[in-house]
Amino acid sequence: MDWERLGDAISVTAGARGAVYAVAATAFTEPTETLYRALDSGDLADELSALLDRTGLDVEAPDLAVDDEREILSARYNDLFVVGYSEVVDRTDGTVQNYGPPVSLYESDYRPEASWNEVNLDLARAYEHFGCEVDQETRRNHDHVRLQLEFMGYLCRREAAVDPDVAAARLDFHDRHLRVVATGVAEALDAEPGTGVYGEFADFLDRFTAADVADLDRRLNGGGES
């Protein structure tokens, strides 16, 4: 096996995958003017397609065409991910049950077998181990999908630049966390009507993380050409 050529290929693909995760992280935020322009112009779709060509993964790009104005897209984001609702469950005494938004962006909501504290403590340890910490001003818990995507992007860049052995940590992080929330968000959005570009992003993320896991598993556990 030509190890030098393989190392160069891994550096390129890992770096490209890191960039894809960074793009995905921006998708799960309320659309800023900059993000909306990138979507509306097609620039973001073009950038993502170009990156995918360098990831070494056979994953189809999502359809990121938007027909909505920014205000409508922002309202869609809030309706799906931010705004909860209340329901009167007992009209005799006015008892009200409060519910969260239709689609949670937090991993712990897709982990009935684990407590919120267990999930977030494990993530905090993972972030700390690699010298990362959550910006307290964002007011997001450690299990928010955007933070996990940013962290995976960082691990990819680290794998590409300085430490190929980080691939094993990436596979572990997928198995323990990112694949859980990626699949959970995709399935939750699939059950909702009118998800638009967010449904496309979530479906893409589910497919992309699955392909990344399969490739990492093959490289680390399944051998290859000699």
pLDDT tens digit sequence for 149-181: 999 999 999 999 888 899 999 999 999 999 999
Spatial distance between the Cα atoms of 109 and 124, rounded to a whole number of angstroms: 17
- Sequence ranges of the domains in the chain: 3-221
Amino acid 7: pLDDT: 46
Spatial distance between the Cα atoms of 30 and 35, rounded to a whole number of angstroms: 9
Rounded to two decimals, the pTM is: 0.87
Domain 3-221 fold: TorD-like (1.10.3480)
Amino acid 134: pLDDT: 84
